[in-house]
Amino acid sequence: MVFIILFSLSYFWFIRIKSYNERKGDALKKTAFLFPGQGSQAVGMGFDFYQEYDVVRELFDMAEEISKINISKLCFKGPMEDLTETVNLQPAVTAVNLACLTVIEKEGVIPDICAGHSLGEYSAMSASGIVSRGDTFRLVFKRGELMHREAVKNKGAMHAIIGLPIDAVAEIVEKTKKEGIVAVANHNAEKQIVITGAPDPVEKASLLAASQGAKAIPLKVSGAWHSELIQGAQDELKDFIESIPFNRPQKPTIFNVTADFEKEPDEIKSIMARQLCSPVKWYDSMCKLMDEHIEIFVEVGPGKVLTGLLKKILPKDYPCQIFNVNSMKELERFLK
């Protein structure tokens, strides 16, 4: 009987120690938080966190006070047509990103490195302590207003080009520039690139890409983001950014424009002003995270766009875990 009791106690402590060591091992793995941008939205996003946490409700209240938009209604009830308007979408996606971040932080998990895709870069700056939560909402609301204004002035289009490397797409874009404004907007994965610009040259570039074996997919967007067609917003956004206090990052942050880190607040301000019309170097940014030996990737915000891209970018033998935290269920899976 004594032997059985001693064996049971030994087994109990073996399991406890094993579990502790596994958790400790995970804690030692380098973690990156990745924040999505436009295109990840869905009606209902963030609702369960809003129901569960007072701090999330306070965050939405802050976003609504700053933007004067009923963000909780748009996020939870839509309609999708209103939610996807840039002026509404930018503070809405940011509210959900920061809600997910706040819940993770409440559980005591912090990242080693942050990154965000286009709009998501503002959430990454908030996560790394560069800007406050309130100033994050002020920045994205202003950005959304300016981008919407320029999109109304200048009709634009964006197409995803699947199946060609960046050099081939850049060459196609260069050949098509004589037709009008066209540029690379996003280098999302090795052979997944988004082009942007005026509708006719974008269409012609897509046809040329298709003739080289690529697949061209028109995207449902209201403007030619990351192109000269919204250049009219850049100086005004730059002035607004200058009015906001920026801090040195508490956590290293990779920026879209450079696919690299930056510590100096003034240089970060310059990068964020240029980001509006510059290509998003997401593929290079994820390669940089591999160089930094990141082992845990967490998409913090709605949808699964960034984790989908990661699975295309990371080599099959790269040792890592990938998580989405956008619901209570996914939060529980991440914290296990």
Options 118, 128, 222, 285, the catalytic residue: 118
Contact 34, 296 (CB under 8 A): no
Contact 120, 41 (CB under 8 A): no
Q: Structure tokens of 171?
A: 């060459």
State the DSSP code for 218: E
Contact 275, 121 (CB under 8 A): yes
CA torsion through residues 134, 276, 86, 230, sign = positive
CB-based burial, 284-323: b 16+ in 10 Å, e otherwise: bbbebbeeeebbbbbbbbbbbbbbbbbeebbeeeeebebb
- Report the alpha-carbon distance of residue 282 to residue 193 in Å, rounded: 10
- Report the alpha-carbon distance of residue 233 to residue 148 in Å, rounded: 9
* Beta pairing class for 321-325 and 253-255: unpaired
* Beta pairing class for 215-218 and 157-162: antiparallel
Q: Is 19 a catalytic residue?
A: no
Q: Is 187 a catalytic residue?
A: no
Options 67, 226, 227, 278, the catalytic residue: 226
Residues, the chain: 336
Residues classed as catalytic: 118, 226
